[in-house]
Chain A
Amino acid sequence: MTDQLLYATETALNGLMTGVMYSLVALGFVLIYKSSGVFNYAQGVLALFAALTLVGIQKGQVPFAHLINAMTGGHLESFPWQVPALLAILLTAGVMVIMAIIIEKLVLKHLVNQAPIILFMATIGLAYFLEGFGDVMWGADIKTLDVGLPQGINETIETVTGDLFGYGFFIDNLDLVATLVAVLLVTALTIFSQYSKQGRALRAVADDHQAALSVGISLRFIWILVWSIAGFVALVAGIMWGSKSGVQFSLSLIALKALPVLMLGGFTSIPGAIVGGLIIGMGEKLFEFWIGPLIGGATENWFAYVLALIFLVFRPQGLFGEKIIERV
């Protein structure tokens, strides 16, 4: 193989891995959209909040330290303990569940039967609120997240491909772990929704709210459940992205990267989120690799959107989305 082709292959592989990371965020969107018809813009901020909380618990930070200091003039910093990673993750998952309950009680309950745009705007408001809340609670400085995931370049792959092609592929260990986690997560979600009682209820709600209500499924419980699962998915995404690039405000912007993934895959399809993520991840890396240098680089910001836009013109419901049927 020529060098150019080898580079391209490496870029494509890395793109696929990035795509998996996008899919992790997109999954949370799909879950909520499918079951409640809410287009949850706050998913990215949920991931940021989860990551912030995880770091905060792990390092034993005092919540609201800044605010308390500002109000009382004290100098609170952190508790004198560190929490082991696994326990911290469990605690954070607990926080996300509480969050889901609060969101349902304070926001969603009151917005039943409103137009989708209103619900969408409410989640943007929620995103603003959570962003400020996370910052006030844990401080806005950039934090490093370390839960013991392997970092750096995978040397085995580098030597093996080096022997085979005379050129070692650089693949991040973390990306490999992310891929593995994504596979596990999707498998777990599929098993949950296909074989458990709650999962069946969830699918029923997704299919038809009123029919589900009439056979005795509690909508509110399902919504809490879905938001909890979405919170958990956000936590996983937050751990992966946080380990990769640090926990900071820009983490919430990955939600914007997940949107074209959703468009491409269809808002209602879990496989769509995965396949869409892979296509977008690979597409944008290859585009940047080949076309990027010709037109000034940094094309990753918009390529995904334009690709999704062009794609949608030909297939308005996305790759795997349900066919949009309009009746007068």
Chain B
Amino acid sequence: MFYREAGDFKTSYRADSQTFPIRLDRMGYFAALIVAYAVVPFFIDDYWANAVFVPFLIYAIAAIGLNILVGYAGQVSLGTGGFMAVGAYAVYKLMTTFPEVPFFFHVILAGGVTAFVGVLFGLPSLRIKGFYLAVATLAAQFFLVWLFNKVPWFYNYSASGQITAPDRTMFGIYITGAQTSAVAKYLFCLVILTLVALMARNLTRGTVGRKWMAIRDMDIAAEIIGVNPLSAKVTAFAVSSFFIGIAGALLFSVYLGAAEVGESFGINKSFLVLFMVIIGGLGSIFGSFAGAAFLVLLPVFLKNVLVGALGWPTDVAAHLELMIVGALIVIFLIVEPHGLAQLWRIAKEKLRLWPFPH
């Protein structure tokens, strides 16, 4: 009754093709934006920023990126960790080499570098398909991690082999480094996430997105109706890696501050982001948000319950956490293989009729 498209008339083409055609959706979207920009920054403290909000924002960017590749273009990739590492090391090299350039551009440039690397590793996808491709992307994962470990130029010959983010400011406010406030971290990531989400949403609605989906559904058929598989697959890899690179750059510079490639960008990171995409829902931008939120909140919640409330030793809690996460993933796939986004869709369908049965 309250949530419906009936009576919501469009009088211009512009209104007809807007991102959220249903009024309540639109209101929800603006409400979420207002809460995120105008309410949360006043209440956020260091614990909430570091444990929940900043990782959520960053992983949401990564999940959107991977969702474009896996959910929209149908190319399964297990190299996310490696591509995030490219973003992180690119932003590190840029920050230390050109300290006078604003940090925002470094992040974008790091995304560009990652896009280039992503295209390079995406080229074999023209020949290799399905699981063979998934395993082939592991080549990127292992090779890139090895490269950043072994070539000292990437970590500026530092003795520990780690990279540490130098202090950088924007408009006089610290964005990276130890003096950064929780609000600055949060807002910076939020702005980038908003831009990324808008871009992704509109790309997937347009020609490019339709080409990706055609390739995903059946690449030979898509080729026959005139979709160029080379350009579709390469753009999917480029856009996806661009976002993932940005996420990697933010993860290193804003969130972690210092990173060691094998630990921060290992194969587990690839699986984590892939889980976010699958649990959230393949081929859905909202799903990327939901999946990221779920997998960021779950460990925090479990840790608080097991260690905080029950007082169990941390090692047992860590193992139980692995079990619970694994079991939840399996249960999720059994109950709703199309992810949280599908649950949301079902809820909306129900809402259209509610409270009347017909």
A residues near B (Cβ < 8 Å) are: 39, 66-67, 70-71, 106-107, 110-111, 114-118, 120-122, 124-133, 135-136, 140, 256, 259-260, 262-263, 267, 295-299, 301-302, 305-306, 308-309, 312-313, 316-318, 324, 326, 328
A124 to B337, CA, bound (A): 14
B138 near A259 (CB under 8 angstroms)?
yes
Nearest chain A CB to B24's CB is how many angstroms away?
31
Please name the residue on chain A nearest to B219 by beta carbon: A326
Nearest chain B CB to A129's CB is how many angstroms away?
3
Query: Would you list 27 pairs from A and B whose C-beta atoms are within 8 A, ordered by A residue?
Result: A66-B313, A66-B316, A67-B320, A111-B334, A115-B337, A117-B282, A122-B329, A126-B330, A128-B322, A128-B329, A130-B326, A132-B324, A260-B135, A260-B138, A263-B135, A267-B131, A296-B150, A297-B150, A305-B135, A305-B143, A306-B143, A312-B124, A316-B127, A316-B129, A324-B129, A326-B220, A328-B220
Q: With A124-B329, A140-B315, A263-B135 known to touch, is A313 a contact of B142 (CB < 8 Å)?
A: no
CB-defined contacts of A39 to chain B, threshold 8 Å: 131
Contacts A260-B139, A324-B129 aside, 17 further interface pairs with beta carbons under 8 A come to A66-B316, A70-B316, A121-B278, A125-B333, A128-B323, A135-B319, A136-B319, A140-B319, A259-B135, A260-B135, A267-B131, A296-B151, A298-B149, A313-B124, A316-B127, A328-B220, A328-B221
CB-defined contacts of A297 to chain B, threshold 8 Å: 150
The reply on B188 being an interface residue by CB < 8 A is no
B residues near A (Cβ < 8 Å) are: 70, 76, 124, 127-132, 134-136, 138-139, 142-143, 145-146, 149-151, 218, 220-221, 224, 267, 271, 274-275, 278, 282, 312-313, 315-316, 319-330, 333-334, 337
Nearest chain B CB to A229's CB is how many angstroms away?
21
Nearest chain B CB to A165's CB is how many angstroms away?
34
Nearest chain A CB to B319's CB is how many angstroms away?
4
Main secondary structure of the interface of B (DSSP, over half): helix
B316 near A67 (CB under 8 angstroms)?
yes
CB-defined contacts of B151 to chain A, threshold 8 Å: 296
A305 near B138 (CB under 8 angstroms)?
yes
Nearest chain B CB to A283's CB is how many angstroms away?
14
Please name the residue on chain B nearest to A263 by beta carbon: B135
Q: Report which of A125, A140, A263, A313 forms a contact with B330, defined as CB distance below 8 A.
A: A125
CB-defined contacts of A328 to chain B, threshold 8 Å: 218, 220-221, 224
CB-defined contacts of A124 to chain B, threshold 8 Å: 271, 274-275, 329
Please name the residue on chain B nearest to A41 by beta carbon: B271
Q: Report which of B70, B142, B149, B334 forms a contact with A110, defined as CB distance below 8 A.
A: B334
The CB with the most chain A CB atoms within 10 A, among B138, B139, B218, B315, is that of B139
Main secondary structure of the interface of A (DSSP, over half): helix
The CB with the most chain B CB atoms within 10 A, among A115, A122, A256, A309, is that of A309
Nearest chain A CB to B125's CB is how many angstroms away?
10
B150 near A298 (CB under 8 angstroms)?
yes
A129 near B326 (CB under 8 angstroms)?
yes
A122 to B130, CA, bound (A): 16
A43 to B56, CA, bound (A): 31
Nearest chain A CB to B3's CB is how many angstroms away?
30
A318 near B132 (CB under 8 angstroms)?
yes
CB-defined contacts of B282 to chain A, threshold 8 Å: 117
B326 near A127 (CB under 8 angstroms)?
yes
Q: Report which of B138, B149, B313 forms a contact with A256, defined as CB distance below 8 A.
A: B138
A132 near B278 (CB under 8 angstroms)?
no
B322 near A129 (CB under 8 angstroms)?
yes
Please name the residue on chain A nearest to B338 by beta carbon: A118
B135 near A308 (CB under 8 angstroms)?
yes
Q: With A124-B329, A316-B128, A326-B220 known to touch, is A132 a contact of B322 (CB < 8 Å)?
A: yes
Q: Report which of A128, A302, A317 forms a contact with B326, defined as CB distance below 8 A.
A: A128
B329 near A121 (CB under 8 angstroms)?
yes
B136 near A263 (CB under 8 angstroms)?
yes
Nearest chain B CB to A3's CB is how many angstroms away?
28
Q: Report which of B128, B138, B149, B323 forms a contact with A129, defined as CB distance below 8 A.
A: B323
B139 near A302 (CB under 8 angstroms)?
yes
CB-defined contacts of A67 to chain B, threshold 8 Å: 316, 320
A133 near B333 (CB under 8 angstroms)?
no
Please name the residue on chain B nearest to A327 by beta carbon: B220
CB-defined contacts of A313 to chain B, threshold 8 Å: 124, 127-128
The CB with the most chain A CB atoms within 10 A, among B70, B218, B313, B333, is that of B333
CB-defined contacts of A263 to chain B, threshold 8 Å: 132, 135-136
B131 near A120 (CB under 8 angstroms)?
yes
CB-defined contacts of B334 to chain A, threshold 8 Å: 107, 110-111, 122
Nearest chain A CB to B328's CB is how many angstroms away?
8
B76 near A117 (CB under 8 angstroms)?
yes
A266 to B162, CA, bound (A): 38
B323 near A132 (CB under 8 angstroms)?
yes
A116 to B330, CA, bound (A): 14
A111 to B336, CA, bound (A): 10
Q: With A67-B316, A316-B129, A324-B129 known to touch, is A305 a contact of B330 (CB < 8 Å)?
A: no
Q: Report which of B146, B221, B320 forms a contact with A298, defined as CB distance below 8 A.
A: B146
The CB with the most chain A CB atoms within 10 A, among B129, B150, B274, B334, is that of B334
B337 near A114 (CB under 8 angstroms)?
yes
A263 to B271, CA, bound (A): 19
Q: With A263-B132, A312-B136 known to touch, is A129 a contact of B124 (CB < 8 Å)?
A: no
B146 near A136 (CB under 8 angstroms)?
no
The CB with the most chain A CB atoms within 10 A, among B149, B282, B323, B325, is that of B323
